[in-house]
């Protein structure tokens, strides 16, 4: 199992450009999440998807959109990138059911917006 | 609303010294708390959870509901413990799904 994978690993964008961060998991998990990690701010939830076909806003959704393409894939889109979106982005997945508790994280995408 | 507070951004200790990473939470329901760790250039991974009351890599954490705390402790720190540590609170978000609220993290450095 590859677990949670993310592409790309690094990206540099100019202000106003758009891009999509890809995330996939092969663990048959129902729930998937997008976080951003900033120094001194910890991890903040951007969006999450409890199951295929559903998405919900997290703590910091402004400037982002998401798509839960199928059970495996959950993408994050920046329509018009801003320097404030410079961050490390982590995708995570979570099984549902009794007795499960661990969220599994991807390796992260380091995004710089100039 | 729930909140997780880690008061120390940075913590530096010498090898062999005891270490305690503080975590306080605010939540109206029954709390489920976790510690996640991120070693340099690695992904975030679960270290331990309060329900299991286990010791992982020599670390323990006890949930104190009276003080609303879940501090992480290790009696003798090792250099390989150097990492970013996040305290997290799991809350129910409908159906059988959950969200994690993370603290801001504490960067632990263990010096030789």
pLDDT tens for residues B12-55?
Answer: 999 999 999 999 999 988 889 999 999 998 899 999 988 777 88
Per-residue model confidence (pLDDT) at position B1? 80
pLDDT tens for residues B65-94?
Answer: 899 999 999 999 999 999 999 999 998 877
> Which of A42, A44, A48, A87 is the best residue to mutate to test the B interface, defined by the most B CB atoms within 10 Å of its own CB?
A42
Q: What angle do CA A86, A87, A92 make, to 5 degrees?
A: 140
The label of the residue with tokens 């632990």 reads: B108
Contact, B98 vs B91, CB < 8 A?
A: yes
- Looking at residue B59, the DSSP 8-state letter turns out to be B
Reduce the DSSP state of residue B80 to 3 states and report it.
helix
Of A4, A35, A40, the CB nearest to B104: A40
Per-residue model confidence (pLDDT) at position A76? 98
Q: Mean pLDDT of successive 10-residue segments in chain A (114 residues)?
A: 92 97 94 93 92 91 95 96 97 81 92 97
User: Taking CB atoms and an 8 Å limit, are B98 and A31 in contact across chains?
Assistant: yes
Please spell the DSSP secondary structure of A57-99, one letter per residue.
E-S--TTEEEEE-SSSBEEEEESS--GGG-EEEEEEEE--STT
Of A42, A51, A105, the CB nearest to B105: A42
Per-residue model confidence (pLDDT) at position A41? 87
User: Taking CB atoms and an 8 Å limit, are A31 and B90 in contact across chains?
Assistant: no
């Amino acid at each position: 199992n590859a677990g949670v994978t993310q592409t790309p690993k690094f990206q540099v964008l100019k202000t106003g450009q758009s891009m999509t961060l890809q995330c996939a998991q092969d663990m048959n998990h129902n729930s998937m999440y997008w976080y951003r990690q900033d120094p001194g701010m910890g991890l903040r939830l951007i969006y999450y998807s409890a199951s295929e076909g559903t998405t919900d806003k997290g703590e910091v959704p402004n400037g982002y959109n998401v798509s839960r393409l199928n059970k495996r894939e959950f993408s994050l889109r920046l329509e018009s990138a801003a320097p404030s979106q410079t961050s490390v982005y982590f995708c995570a997945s979570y099984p549902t059911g009794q007795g499960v508790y661990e969220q599994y994280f991807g390796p992260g995408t380091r995004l710089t917006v100039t | 609303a729930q909140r997780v507070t880690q008061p120390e951004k940075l913590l530096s200790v010498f090898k062999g010294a005891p270490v305690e990473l503080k975590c306080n939470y605010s939540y109206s329901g029954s709390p489920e708390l976790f510690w996640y760790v991120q070693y340099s250039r690695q992904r975030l991974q679960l270290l331990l959870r309060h329900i299991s009351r286990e010791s992982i890599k020599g670390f323990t954490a006890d949930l104190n509901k009276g003080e609303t705390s879940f501090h992480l402790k290790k009696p003798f720190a090792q250099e390989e413990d150097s990492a970013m540590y996040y305290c997290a609170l799991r809350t129910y978000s409908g159906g059988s799904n959950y969200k994690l609220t993370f603290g801001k993290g504490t960067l632990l450095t263990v010096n030789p």
